[in-house]
């Protein structure tokens, strides 16, 4: 069974979906229905409000967004990820809070040198941003690259600044 919960944050409405295994999806600044539609389409399941089960995750994510916590210990459920995406996104857990890597470096880390664009594609479809910190991946020229959030690269810059790792966008 999949449940969801929501909470207002300084970064916009936080929507999460959880399963018995852990966090399935995070939407930051996204409409609740958009997040739920994505889950229903990919998994062909019903998702019901379950604020009680979602609340510990919401608390941890809200504390992160307030600069009071890191997210290394958050349990996740990778059910929305392809095998390649899973490999890319789980590697992100090794990028420390306050640090950045390039798309090329991340491709090299997963044993796919030269696959920076494919890595970027996997990051663009990250179902669990923040916890799997795709915002810590930048272009080789030091620019921010992209970020799949309604606020776009501005949200990425805010998250990096929150962590004290704000490279200059060019």
> What is the set of active-site residues?
134
Nearest-angstrom CA–CA distance, 97 and 70:
7
Q: Are strands 137-138 and 23-28 parallel, antiparallel or unpaired?
A: unpaired
Nearest-angstrom CA–CA distance, 137 and 105:
9
| Nearest residue to 38 via CA among 50, 47, 51 | 47
Within its chain, how far is the Cα of 51 from the centroid? 20
């Amino acid at each position: 069974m999949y449940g969801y919960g929501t909470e207002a944050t300084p970064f916009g409405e936080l929507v999460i979906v959880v399963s018995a295994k852990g966090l399935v999806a995070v939407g930051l600044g996204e409409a609740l229905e958009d997040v739920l539609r994505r889950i229903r389409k990919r998994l062909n399941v019903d998702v019901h409000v379950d604020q009680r089960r979602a609340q510990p995750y919401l608390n941890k994510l809200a504390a992160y967004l307030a600069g009071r916590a890191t997210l290394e210990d958050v349990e996740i459920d990778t059910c929305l990820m392809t095998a390649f995406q899973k490999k890319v996104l789980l590697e992100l857990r090794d990028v420390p809070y306050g640090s950045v890597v390039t798309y090329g470096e991340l491709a090299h880390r997963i044993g796919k040198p030269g696959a920076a664009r494919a890595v970027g594609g996997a990051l663009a479809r990250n179902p669990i941003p923040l916890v799997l910190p795709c915002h810590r991946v930048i272009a080789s020229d030091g620019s921010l690259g992209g970020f799949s959030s309604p606020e776009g690269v501005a949200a990425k810059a805010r998250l990096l600044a929150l962590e004290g790792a704000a490279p200059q966008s060019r």
